[in-house]
Amino acid sequence: MGRKQKHPEHAAESQRLMNSLLDEVVSLWTSEKEPELKAIAEEIEISPAKLRKLLITAGERDNNVYYDSPVAAQIGRLQRDGKTVKEIQEILGLSYTSIQGYLPHTKLIYSLDTMSTEAERIRLYRNRQKAVEEFQIHLGLPNQSLYLWRTIIAFEGFRFTTSGRGNRPGTKFTYEVSKPNTGSGRRYAGEKIDGYGNELWIIKNGQRAEKSISRSTVDLALKNALAQEGFVSGPKVLGIPGAGSYLYPMFIRFGVITP
C-alpha cells in the first residue's frame, strides 16, 4: 500500500498553477505570428531554455507540438522509441543537461509563488502587446496621443536600454508614470487617463531622475518622428534634448520608428 500524501491539497494546487502557467505560455506563443524564443523569453524575464521546456511540456500535455526544431524533433522521436537519456546522449553526442532541456517536465519542480509570478509576467506581456496593437491602429488619428500614453502606462516597469554611443553600451532604465494630484504642477490640455498623471520619471540604477518627462514632450517627440515617416537614425533626430535618449528605445518598441 502506498504512503498517503501529507498535503494532497498542496499537490492539487501545484498542478492547477502549473496548468495555468502552461496555458499562458501556449496562448502567448501561438498568438505571435513568428515567435522567437530568445525575444519572448527576454520580455517575460525567464531563460530561453526554461521557456522552451515549458512549451515542450505543454505539447506533451496537449498531444501537440508548440516548439519545434531539428534537435527537439530528434530527441522527441528517440524518447518515443523508448531510448533512455544516456542512449540519446550516445546517439546524438549531446550532454545530459542538453538532452534534459528538450524533454518535458515529469514532475512539478516550481514553487507555487514562482508559477504564479511567471504566469503573471506572461499576462503582463500580453497586455503590453495589446496596448501596442491598439496604439498602432490609432497612429495618425486625432486620438493617437491618448493611445500612446496608454501604451506608456502599460510598459511601466519594463526594462528598456538606450542606444549608447560608439563603443559604449546603452544604459538600462525603467520608468514610473506619475499619479494625479501629486503637486508636480505639470499641465496637459489633452484627454486624461483615470488614475494617472501626465509625466514619467526615468529610473536608472534604482535612482529616480531629478526631472520628469512631460506628456507634452512625448507628444512632440511623436510628432517629430512621424514627420520623418518613422525613419529616425538616432535619439538626437527626435529633437528632444535630454528626453530623446529615453524616448527613442521606447518608440522603437512601440513600433513608432525604425532605427
- pLDDT tens for 199-215 read 999 999 889 988 899 99
46 versus 248: the higher-pLDDT residue is 248
- pLDDT tens for 133-167 read 999 999 999 999 999 999 999 999 999 999 877 67
**Same domain (yes/no): 204, 150:** yes
Q: Please give the grid coordinates belonging to residue 242.
A: 535630454
Q: Please give the grid coordinates belonging to residue 69.
A: 526544431
Q: CA distances (Å), 240 to each of 13, 124, 143, 247, 252, in order?
A: 51, 30, 22, 9, 16
Determine the pLDDT at residue 2.
47
**How far apart, in whole angstroms, are the C-alpha atoms of residue 17 and residue 113?**
9
Range of the domain at 32: 8-118
Q: Which residues contact 89 (CB under 8 A, 6 or more apart)?
A: 95, 96, 99
- Which contacts qualify for 21-24: CB closer than 8 Å, 24 or more apart? 21/54, 21/110, 21/115, 21/118, 21/119, 21/122, 22/54, 22/57, 22/58, 22/61, 23/58, 24/119, 24/122, 24/123
Q: Is residue 229 part of a domain?
A: yes
Q: Is residue 46 part of a domain?
A: yes
Determine the pLDDT at residue 186.
66
**Same domain (yes/no): 154, 49:** no
**Same domain (yes/no): 146, 247:** yes
Instruction: Report yes or no: 149 and 200 within 8 Å, Cβ to Cβ.
Output: no
**Same domain (yes/no): 143, 101:** no
Instruction: Report yes or no: 238 and 221 within 8 Å, Cβ to Cβ.
Output: yes
**Same domain (yes/no): 102, 70:** yes
Q: Is residue 127 part of a domain?
A: no
User: E strands along the chain, which residues?
Assistant: 160-161, 172-177, 199-204, 207-208, 213-214
**Same domain (yes/no): 195, 232:** yes
- pLDDT tens for 65-80 read 999 999 999 999 999 9
Q: Is residue 3 part of a domain?
A: no
pTM to 2 decimals?
0.72
From the CB of residue 192, how many other CB atoms can be counted at a distance below 10 Å? 13
17 versus 51: the higher-pLDDT residue is 51
